Chain A
Amino acid sequence: MSRPRVFLGALALSFLAVGGAEAQPRRRRFRRTMPRKLPTKKPEKKKPEKPKKPDRWFAVHAGWVHTVSGAVRRDVTILAKNGKIFQIGQDLEIPKKAEVLDAKTKHVYPGLIAYSSYGIVGFSPADSTDVFGLNLVMGLSAGLTTVGSGGTIAKLTYGTLEGHLVGRAPRLVRISYRDSRSKRRTRASFEKVRAWMREMRAYTVKKSRGDKEAKPPKPLSGMLASYHKLMQGQGYASVRASSTKAIRDVAHLALKYGFKLQISGGTEAYKVASLLGRVGARVVVVPRGRPFSWGYRPPGMAKLEWSIENAAILHKHGVQVVVMPRQRGIGTWGLAGNDLFTLPLEAAFAVRGGLSQNEALKTITLNPAKFLGVADQVGSIEVGKDCDLVITGGDLLHYQTLPQWTIVNGRIAYDKQKDSLLRHVRPRDLQKGKNLELPQLWPRPKGSKQPEMPKREK
């Protein structure tokens, strides 16, 4: 006798669903004969029109354009509108008010991206970046255009705060998996989450069968909630692991619980490259060996066998690699070549280890953009992406190459001949007296008129 009741109940529901709260004329079931009353549009209030800012155009005539995501294009023009790449091609129509840069004999690369840094943009970039700061200028002179700093991603916009902030870096779930205690704890937490997911599934099944006494399990909170998100495939887990055993163990953990893994350190990652490839891991490596800069190895820490072929082997097995130097800042202390001032050199060492040229470029442009979650905006030269370019006279990964111009958001942020830092090193278009434009006030330049002195009264 429950069936007719259920049937009537369904009918009643359908009538109510169709009829709703309004009084509507009776109509045949499942067929609409009366047109539904459409909601009338309110007349839009006219907002006072703001004066439109004129578009800002910027064009670069380039000899070689290394798009990184695609082919190398020869003899093309990159046209940027309001800081974003508008067109790439030959014989483009360039607006009259555009700022044009002639780099017909030069190579153009996408602006370099540092996955993490300190001291270049301010601690809280919106409030404290020194947009004229020395570290910023040195970063630009090395080709850096975007850096991740703390949890924020910012651009090296010299002299202006327009377009400085890009966004927040995606939150990574830190997993501690080093010693036996932390391993036990982490495994226990994942097991807890798995048990909770089983309970949740059981409850869902019971509810769909009509069991009214089914109770959902208590919602997860804190660390367990973030582990749950990981196991659902959202976001990456970040682990510091350098030795083979540590990397292997954490990779097996990722396989078992199905989360995405990002490893930093990764000195011996090449030994378990195939496993990492199967896991779909991402690695932030230092091509030249140990990730920390001090020479002292604490007792008990295993001696790590680093290899220059680390990045190359990882890439061969399908692992996404980001190259970082040992020091994440820019400084003139200690040994040169250890910090972000020589980021292309780090990628060159990866090439030395067997990585291809374009892949090495990717490790300092497109891959850091992907890791930071801004690959739709920066990282390669494509229409629609930001106009962040590095223009060099030769191969960027050559040790003698110094960027000639660095363009951020369609503005020339660094010009090697105008900035005082490196203009004396292999000056561009060397002509006598033309390149060294120093605004000289003291001592007064030869030939300038002496200002009139007040005469002393006798």
Chain B
Amino acid sequence: MPKKPVTPKKPAKFVPPKVPDRVKAFMALIQKPDEAPLILIEMSMAHHMVHFEDGFKDRIKAMQPAFYFGRSWRGSDMFRVVDRFGKLQANVVLYPELTFEPYTRTRRNVAADLVKAGAKVSFVPRFDSEREYRSLLPQVASLVRNGLSREAALAGLTKNPAEVIGLGAELGLIKKGYKADLVFLSGDPLAPGTKVTRVMFDGKQSWPETKRKGGGR
């Protein structure tokens, strides 16, 4: 005798699980890469970029991330993948240092390689200390001596870092409509021996200090 046809149970209405708050940003990144906030991706080895591209594939261009060549970088092999950054025309934040090829004493100017490949560089000092800030310009100058173009070096100190933090429309260029945050130097910024003579914030001189109103001696 044939069995009675069993009507399959209607599946219960699918209720998606609740998304925890800490994951929402990542979900937005994957689902709506165009609306992504400013993203900075830290990597130190060449294979990190290979894995990143393999994971995110086409979404990277829409995400428009900036990259940060972080801590353990002095002997890293980042120069092997500069063409990938060039294709993305990415903004790369790095220390103004000459590095070595891993396990060798062969010097490598990664900033120059990146610029030649079509990417942009932004310079940051290695530590947040007075000594590092004082040596920032001389270090960038040594990169220029070893193959980095002057324009890219100066952009890396002004325009590109402003873009990384999202203030590319207000800071970084001497142009109408931009903020009047200026630095006056005694000579070429990349020449040794150049000194800062004046610093201006919002159109007002902040250093050396002008006469204070009231109080003081």
State the A residues within 8 Å of B (CB).
16, 127-134, 159-161, 420, 438-442, 444, 451, 453-457
Q: Decide if the interface of chain B is mainly helix, strand, loop or mixed.
A: loop
Which B33-60 residues have a C-beta within 8 angstroms of A? 45-47, 50-51, 54
Least Cβ–Cβ distance between B154 and chain A, in angstroms: 11
CB-based contact A442/B106 at 8 Å: yes
Taking A161-B51, A441-B109, A455-B191 as given, write out 8 further A-B residue pairs in contact, using a Cβ cutoff of 8 Å, ordered by the A residue number.
A16-B2, A129-B47, A132-B46, A159-B80, A442-B146, A451-B145, A451-B147, A457-B186
CB-based contact A134/B102 at 8 Å: yes
The answer to whether residues A439 and B106 also contact, given A454-B190, A456-B191, A456-B192 and a CB cut-off of 8 A, is yes
Q: Which residues of A contact B144 (CB under 8 A)?
A: 451
Q: Which residues of B contact A438 (CB under 8 A)?
A: 106
CB-based contact B54/A453 at 8 Å: no
The CA of A132 and the CA of B98, in the complex, are separated in Å by 20
State the B residues within 8 Å of A (CB).
2, 45-47, 50-51, 54, 77, 80, 98, 101-104, 106-109, 144-147, 150, 186-188, 190-193
Least Cβ–Cβ distance between B55 and chain A, in angstroms: 8
A-B contact count (CB 8 A): 62
Q: Which residues of A contact B54 (CB under 8 A)?
A: 161
CB-based contact A130/B45 at 8 Å: yes
Partner of B103, one of A134, A439, A457: A134
CB-based contact B106/A453 at 8 Å: no
Q: Which residues of B contact A128 (CB under 8 A)?
A: 51
Partner of B47, one of A130, A442, A455, A457: A130
Q: Which of B107, B109, B192 has the largest count of A CB atoms less than 10 A from its CB?
A: B107
CB-based contact B188/A441 at 8 Å: no
CB-based contact A453/B145 at 8 Å: yes
Q: Which residues of A contact B102 (CB under 8 A)?
A: 134
Partner of B188, one of A132, A134, A444, A454: A454
Q: Which residues of B contact A134 (CB under 8 A)?
A: 102-103
Least Cβ–Cβ distance between A162 and chain B, in angstroms: 8
CB-based contact A441/B107 at 8 Å: yes
CB-based contact A441/B146 at 8 Å: yes
The CA of A54 and the CA of B11, in the complex, are separated in Å by 45
The CA of A159 and the CA of B191, in the complex, are separated in Å by 39
Q: Which residues of A contact B190 (CB under 8 A)?
A: 454
Q: Which residues of B contact A454 (CB under 8 A)?
A: 150, 187-188, 190-191
The answer to whether residues A131 and B187 also contact, given A441-B108, A442-B146, A451-B144 and a CB cut-off of 8 A, is no
Closest 3 A/B residue pairs (Cβ): A442-B107, A454-B188, A457-B187
Q: Which residues of A contact B77 (CB under 8 A)?
A: 132
Q: Which residues of B contact A444 (CB under 8 A)?
A: 146
Partner of B45, one of A132, A442, A451, A453: A132
Q: Which residues of A contact B45 (CB under 8 A)?
A: 130, 132
- The chain B residue sitting closest to A21, CB to CB, is B5
The answer to whether residues A132 and B47 also contact, given A441-B108, A451-B145 and a CB cut-off of 8 A, is yes
The CA of A130 and the CA of B145, in the complex, are separated in Å by 32
The CA of A132 and the CA of B43, in the complex, are separated in Å by 14
CB-based contact B146/A457 at 8 Å: no
The CA of A259 and the CA of B104, in the complex, are separated in Å by 53
Partner of B50, one of A159, A440, A456: A159
The CA of A439 and the CA of B104, in the complex, are separated in Å by 12
Q: Which residues of B contact A451 (CB under 8 A)?
A: 144-147
- The chain B residue sitting closest to A452, CB to CB, is B150
The CA of A441 and the CA of B98, in the complex, are separated in Å by 10
CB-based contact A127/B51 at 8 Å: yes
